[in-house]
């Protein structure tokens, strides 16, 4: 992993901190300590605390008999003083031998007061968890300065279009009726087709070559079709001969009866979405949704504009981003990326990292 903290320096830091702490990936018999830490020091009644099914699905690495959290465990008390969760794309397909690694919860206990301990668990993951590349999405303001020192950084773009049939909005504010979608979108033939898991299994192998090397056919099945809580949909973008050119995954978010569509992942030809404004609008109308949004890093803006999407940052519109709990506020999603291969470029969607996971579950 390319990193300004070289191996020799890392080993020196590890030697210093190891006088007091044991750094390792959480063993299966330590997961209750992690849950207790999250509940007490991160967020009380967090979704990973309330749902063991969600914890198992997202972090339990059965193949290696561990839970994917790097922990700093105090040698005297046995307590966890810092941790960083991580998600490998191989979590959803163990045959992926060059996964991407996404960080999740990253926390240093406020009451411990050991400078650098939080950074140390992050560095431990970098130097001890093999991965083709590393990507973080949704970085907090507190953590962002640390990523600036270690990674390539930037901001994701939130593309959107509004339902042309709606005149009253609950999930949108400060909107302009004349800017519901990009009117310079191009026109093309082809159509959208629903894609259930059976349809997905029948996809031609040549089409699956568009899947990034750190994901796989099985990855999308386990990540979206078999999610333990959320219901995701998949839609094929087909050409005039009904041959699929791309697939996007999406789900509906709701608040007080109002609905929106969030596109959370995509693979295939990047230009396949171009010219399909009418199909996206029909999806909006069919789902009675106020807006569609498509958060992305890595796909050329031309394809979004040709599909009728508008870059939120070019307008004054406010789009709800958080639904658990609901917050009608624009949120800038910061990202960081690093790779051992120079050819790998950042390609992020809302479904990557831990961005699209439940935050609130009933007790």
Is 157:295 a contact under the CB 8 Å cutoff?
A: yes
3-state secondary structure 75-139: CCCCCEEEEEEEEEHHHHCCCCCCCEEEEEEEEECCCCCCCCHHHHHHHHHHHHCCCCEEEEECC
326-342: b or e for each residue (b if 16 or more CB lie within 10 Å)? bebebeebbbbbbbeee
- What pLDDT is attached to residue 255? 96
Give the number of other Cβ atoms within 10 Å of residue 146's Cβ.
15
Give the pLDDT score at 140. 86
In order of start, what are the domains of the chain with their CATH numbers?
7-154 (3.40.630.30), 157-332 (3.40.630.30)
Q: What is the pLDDT of residue 1?
A: 39
218 close to 227: Cβ distance less than 8 angstroms: no
Q: What are the φ and ψ backbone dihedral angles of 175, each rounded to 5 degrees? A: -95, 160
Q: CA–CA separation, 219 vs 238, rounded Å?
A: 22
pLDDT for 200 equals 97
pLDDT at res. 2: 41
Nearest-10 crossing angle of helices 7-17, 117-128:
130
pLDDT value of position 363: 52
Q: Which residues of the chain have pLDDT under 50?
A: 1-3
- C-alpha to C-alpha distances, 362 to 32, 81, 358, nearest whole angstrom: 20, 28, 11
Q: Which residue has the tokens 């198992």?
A: 56
Pair 104, 86: CB distance under 8 Å: yes
């Amino acid at each position: 992993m390319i990193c300004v903290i070289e191996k020799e320096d890392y080993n020196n830091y590890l030697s210093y901190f190891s006088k007091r702490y044991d750094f390792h990936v959480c063993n299966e018999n330590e997961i209750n300590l992690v849950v207790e830490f999250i509940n007490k020091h991160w967020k009380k009644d967090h979704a990973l605390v309330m749902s063991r099914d969600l914890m198992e699905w997202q972090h339990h690495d059965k193949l290696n008999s561990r839970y994917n959290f790097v922990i700093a465990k105090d040698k005297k008390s046995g307590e966890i003083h810092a941790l960083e969760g991580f998600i490998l794309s191989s979590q959803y397909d163990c045959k992926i031998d060059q996964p991407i690694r996404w960080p999740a919860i990253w926390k240093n206990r406020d009451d411990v007061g050991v400078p650098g301990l939080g950074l140390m668990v992050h560095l431990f993951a970098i130097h001890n968890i093999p991965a083709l590349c590393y990507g973080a999405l949704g970085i907090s303001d507190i953590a962002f300065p640390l990523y600036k020192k270690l990674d390539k950084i930037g901001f994701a773009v939130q593309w959107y279009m509004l339902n042309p049939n709606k005149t009253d909005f609950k999930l949108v504010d400060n909107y302009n009726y004349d800017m519901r979608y990009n009117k310079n979108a191009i026109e093309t033939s082809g159509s959208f087709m629903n894609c259930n898991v059976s349809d997905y299994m029948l996809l031609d192998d040549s089409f699956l070559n568009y899947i990034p090397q750190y994901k796989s056919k099985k990855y999308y099945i386990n990540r979206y079709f078999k999610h333990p809580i959320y219901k995701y949909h998949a839609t094929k973008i087909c050409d005039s001969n009904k041959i699929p050119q791309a697939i996007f995954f999406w789900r509906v978010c709701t608040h007080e009866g109002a609905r929106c569509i969030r596109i959370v992942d995509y693979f295939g030809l990047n230009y396949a979405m171009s010219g399909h404004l009418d199909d996206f609008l029909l999806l909006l109308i069919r789902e009675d949704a106020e807006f569609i949004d498509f958060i992305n890093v890595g796909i050329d803006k031309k394809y979004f504009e040709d599909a009728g999407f508008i870059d939120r940052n070019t307008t004054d519109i406010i789009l709800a981003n958080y639904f658990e709990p609901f917050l009608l506020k624009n949120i800038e999603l910061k990202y960081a990326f690093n790779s051992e291969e120079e050819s790998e470029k950042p390609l992020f969607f809302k479904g990557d990292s831990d961005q699209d996971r439940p935050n609130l579950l009933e007790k």
